Amino acid sequence: MPPEPLQRRSVVPVFLVEGLAGLALLLVLTWTEREQTAAILHSLGPNAPILIAILAGFTAAMTLLRFELTEVIYVSLVATSCIAVFPLLGPVLGSWVALLASMTARLASLLRKPKRTFEEAVRIVPGLFAVYGVPLMAASWVYEAMGGELPLLHPTPQAALRAAVGGIVLIVMNNLMMFMPARTYGYSVPRVFRLYAIDSSIYLVTLPYAVVTSLAYGSIGWGGVLALAFTGAVANFVAGNLSLLRAKSQQQLQRLASLTNIGKTISLRYTTDQLLMAIYTECKKIVDCSLFTIALLDESTNELSFELDVRDHVFLPKDRIPVGEGLNSWVVKHHQPLLVGSVRDEKRFGVKAVQDTKKTESWLGVPMIARDRVIGVISVESYGKHAFTHDDMILMTAIANQAAVAIENQQLYKDLEGLTYALEARVMDRTNELREANLRLMAADRSKNQFLANMSHELRTPLNSIIGFSSVLLESTRNAIAPRFYKFLENIHAAGNHLLELINDILDLSKIEAGKMELRPDVFDLHETLAAVERVMKGFAAEANVRIVSFIDADVPKVRLDEGRLKQILFNLLSNAVKFSPNGGPVEVGVRRVPKALSPIGVDAVRIDVSDQGIGIQPDDLQRIFDEFYQTEQGRRSRRGGTGLGLSLTRNFVELHHGTIEVQSTPGQGSCFSLYLPVNYDESKPVPMMQPPRPTARAAPSA
């Protein structure tokens, strides 16, 4: 826990005074109690070195296996190992073993740190003489005063009670010895006692385990002590890993919250400068942005324009450099993010940084990609080595993609406004006779263009953000967050894709109405097409506990149609059939050949029937089910989703193929949709517009 906002003073004098006093006390005790120490070693017998080694290793392991339980609690169970030591080795030998093992482990850990401070060294030597030495000696004295046996070779309930009391004394003394250092750090007295209560509760939980470890030698031997010590170390190791996993999960959730905030912020900005500042402001909250740049690519001059350049929180003037050497240019050329941990890594990647006054080591740059085109680079730098991680790269990539879409939409918005103003100018030049009509046309055009611009800005930016972010998070947090939160991510991703499908359906209908929808006929095998559609739909059907059964006649020939649109037709019909089928009910797909003489479209055709045993369609609804956005009352009450566009698109795609579609249904028994499509699209002719189907009893597909 960080200290309160008081003036923090150096703890070195406190640790020196307390530590030297503890060392002096231990040296005096070592000399005066040398006979007792020799007697303890004699009582332990030839296994004394083995026991000492086990207890020393146990203490060292507990020293190294420290972990952060929460932002407030940092768990170190060295005191637990000391409680297990003193009843077996006594005050002198126990203190030396525990202290030397703990010092060795901490010094080894300190030497691995890139920055080692004098304060940390003093906390280890001689600080530990006060923190653990004095409490261990006090615990031993209390244990002996209660008649405790040294070493503890005869496990009894009374011996366990004495060892437990000594352990409590050790815990209390450990807290007392840390009182002055805590006050020197700036902690208030109430906060010190709150922390002591937390530490003591953790040690008291482990007290029975430490006492049992002490008793094990007298009943089982050094093997029992080794087993218990190993078990405790493993349990501590597992607890540390679980705590680390929980911290990572919290970090991922924080990143998710930050990304959501960034998406919201970006979507509300309308000028490029405001957008760039929003990106920088939000990035500072989750990534080290002491050195931060956003460079946009000017394709006309093949230059990078540094629109935002921040160095140590100072905003530098805008600058331009040609695309060539340099890390930013590498990202632009390769369309890939680049993570450089140190200057030496540049040779390994085959890149060369542009010479400047920034003596940095780490560099991370990600491309800003919109519609498969790089429009710029976002980069961050650090003076330290390996300052950025792979998770940072994923996060920055998501931000860059979102920013790219926003910038691209802004440019499209400006272009659209320019086109609108040009159209207005031309309309204003029309004759006076058409002035009133032209004014109405201008108003309609402004409304339409404003709507399109707003939809592009307000829908596409957050929609792409939702789909992109949820996809990245689904891949990177599968094992890092709780299943309940992972299910939320899956729901977000599914909802985004559903909205994207709705927009695509609307665009398809618009193209059809405008006469701009073109088919791409090609020869293909209906067996393979139906198998592909069935593979995709079986997963959806399995979730609804519905079986899909398909039949196709052997004499069905290869057809020349638009296979992609045919798949879309089948997906729409099968999705409806599955959604409205009862639990366990079958959905049947039948395909057969229809000769020209029997074909309702006048050429050789194939008939495709999709039938179900679901809720059926009311006779009145049969007149309107192919209308756009229309849903039956039963469909709305069932809450099975849908937009009312699927059947309308299906009918239009069938008619584009010069085919027809019919429906037969009986309420409560199911429905059957029948398609007649030409075998060869090039030889067919358009058929008259489909009339609203008459309500009839459902006929089973003949397949």
Q: Which whole-number Å values give the CA distances from 459 to 268, 298, 472, in the listed order?
A: 12, 27, 20
Closest residue by Cα to residue 214 from 144, 137, 160 = 160
* The two three-digit tokens of residue 60, written as one number: 């060292």
Domain ranges of the chain: 12-248, 284-412, 522-683
Which residues are CB-neighbours of 622 under 8 A, at least 6 positions away? 663, 665, 692, 693, 694, 695
The count of residues in the chain is: 703
Q: Which of the residue ranges 41-50, 508-517, 585-594, 618-627 would you say has the lowest mean pLDDT?
A: 508-517
Given a cut of 70, is residue 115 above it in pLDDT?
no
* The two three-digit tokens of residue 176, written as one number: 């007392």
Q: Which of the residue ranges 332-341, 476-485, 579-588, 692-701 would you say has the lowest mean pLDDT?
A: 692-701
| pLDDT for 261 | 67
In which band, very low, low, confident or very high, does the pLDDT at 466 lie, cut at 50, 70 and 90? Answer: confident
Between 262 and 23, where is the model more confident? 23
Which residues are CB-neighbours of 543 under 8 A, at least 6 positions away? none
The whole-number average pLDDT for the span 189-209 is: 84
In which band, very low, low, confident or very high, does the pLDDT at 696 lie, cut at 50, 70 and 90? Answer: very low
Most confident range, picked from 195-209, 296-310, 486-500: 296-310
Residue with token string 């059957």:
672
Long-range contacts of 640-643 (CB under 8 A, 24+ apart): 640/579, 640/580, 641/498, 641/579, 642/576, 642/579, 643/502, 643/505
Residue 640: exposure state from Cβ atoms within 10 A (0-12, 13-18, ≥19): middle
Between 171 and 349, where is the model more confident? 171
| pLDDT for 459 | 61
Between 606 and 513, where is the model more confident? 606
Q: What is the CATH number of domain 12-248?
A: 1.10.1760
DSSP 129: I
Given a cut of 80, is residue 378 above it in pLDDT?
yes
CB 285 within 8 A of CB 254: no
| pLDDT for 482 | 78
CB 683 within 8 A of CB 603: yes
User: Which helix or strand (DSSP H or E) is residue 552 part of?
Assistant: strand 547-552
User: Which helix or strand (DSSP H or E) is residue 144 part of?
Assistant: helix 134-145
SS (H, E, C) 195-231: HHHHHHHHHHHHHHHHHHHHHHHHHCCHHHHHHHHHH
The whole-number average pLDDT for the span 222-233 is: 84
| pLDDT for 641 | 52
Which residues are CB-neighbours of 545 under 8 A, at least 6 positions away? 583, 584
Whole-prediction pTM: 0.43
Given a cut of 80, is residue 442 above it in pLDDT?
no
Q: What is the dihedral of CA 531, 536, 537, 539, to 10 degrees?
A: 120
> In the predicted model, what is the mean pLDDT of the chain?
78
In which band, very low, low, confident or very high, does the pLDDT at 124 lie, cut at 50, 70 and 90? Answer: low
Given a cut of 50, is residue 590 above it in pLDDT?
yes
Helix (H, G, I), strand (E, B) or coil at 554: coil
Q: Give CA–CA dist 407/413, Å, rounded.
A: 10
% of the chain residues with pLDDT over 70: 76
> Which CATH fold would you assign to the domain 284-412?
Beta-Lactamase (3.30.450)
| pLDDT for 161 | 93
DSSP state string for 608-670: EEEEE-SS---TTGGGTTTSTT---HHHHHHT----S-HHHHHHHHHHHTT-EEEEEEETTTE
- Tell me which amino acid residue 391 is: D
* The two three-digit tokens of residue 280, written as one number: 């920088």
Q: Which of the residue ranges 115-119, 173-177, 402-406, 527-531 would you say has the lowest mean pLDDT?
A: 115-119
Q: Give CA–CA dist 400/405, Å, rounded.
A: 9
Q: Give CA–CA dist 345/691, Å, rounded.
A: 70
In which band, very low, low, confident or very high, does the pLDDT at 558 lie, cut at 50, 70 and 90? Answer: very high
Q: Give CA–CA dist 162/233, Å, rounded.
A: 24
Sign of the CA dihedral running 308, 314, 316, 322: negative
| pLDDT for 593 | 93
Residue with token string 């009391």:
165
CB 133 within 8 A of CB 26: yes
* The two three-digit tokens of residue 145, written as one number: 């005063």
Q: What is the CATH number of domain 522-683?
A: 3.30.565.10
Given a cut of 90, is residue 585 above it in pLDDT?
no
| pLDDT for 561 | 92
